[in-house]
Amino acid sequence: MDFYAVKFIAASNLTGETYLGYIFGKKGQSPQFNVVLLNRSQLKEYEIPDITKDYLEFKSDVDMLYYQLSKEKDNYILSQFKAYFYSILRKMNFEVVGTKIFLAVEENDVYVLKSLINDILNEWAGETKIKLVAQKFDYKDLTWISAVKEKGEKGFEEYLNRPDVKNAIEVFPIIDPVEGYPVIKLDVGEPIIVLQIDKEENKKDTDNILEGRVISKELIPSTSYLFLKIDLGRYGIGKTIVHQDLKISIDQKKLQILRKARDTQENEEQKIIGDLFDNLQKDKRFYERRKISSLDILIISGLSIIGILLIILIAVLLGAF
Give the tens place of pLDDT for each residue, 1-56: 888 999 999 999 888 899 999 999 888 888 889 999 999 889 888 989 999 988 87
Contact 173, 239 (CB under 8 A): no
Tell me whether strands 191-198 and 203-219 are parallel, antiparallel or unpaired. Answer: antiparallel
Helices (H), the chain: 40-45, 55-70, 76-92, 94-106, 110-125, 139-143, 156-160, 252-282, 284-320
Q: Radius of gyration over alpha carbons of the chain, in Å?
A: 32
Residues in the chain predicted with pLDDT less than 70, given as ranges, are 139-155, 198-207, 221-222, 251-321
Q: How far apart are CA 176 and CA 178, in angstroms?
A: 6
Residue 121 CB coordination number (10 Å): 23
pLDDT score at 37: 94
- Phi and psi, residue 170, nearest 5°: -80, 125
Residue 187: its pLDDT value, please?
Answer: 81
Q: What pLDDT is recorded for position 29?
A: 84
Predicted pLDDT at 258: 55
**Which residues is 239 bridged to in the sheet?**
170, 229
Show the CA angle centred on residue 303, arms to residues 302 and 308, nearest 5°: 100
Cα–Cα–Cα angle for 103, 195, 198, nearest 5°? Answer: 110
Residue type, 89: L
Q: So what's the pLDDT on residue 189?
A: 76
With b for 16 or more beta-carbon neighbours within 10 A and e for fewer, the 88-97 pattern comes to bbeeeebeeb
Closest CA to 133 of 38, 29, 33, 58: 58
Pairing of strands 169-173, 237-243: parallel
CB neighbour list of residue 247: distance below 8 Å, 6 or more residues apart: 175, 176, 177, 178, 179, 180, 181, 182, 183
CB 132, CB 51: distance < 8 Å: yes
Query: Is residue 28 within 8 Å of residue 95, measured between CB atoms?
Result: yes
> Under a CB-based contact definition with an 8 Å cutoff, are residues 9 and 130 in contact?
yes
The residue extents of the domains of the chain are 3-137, 142-250, 259-317
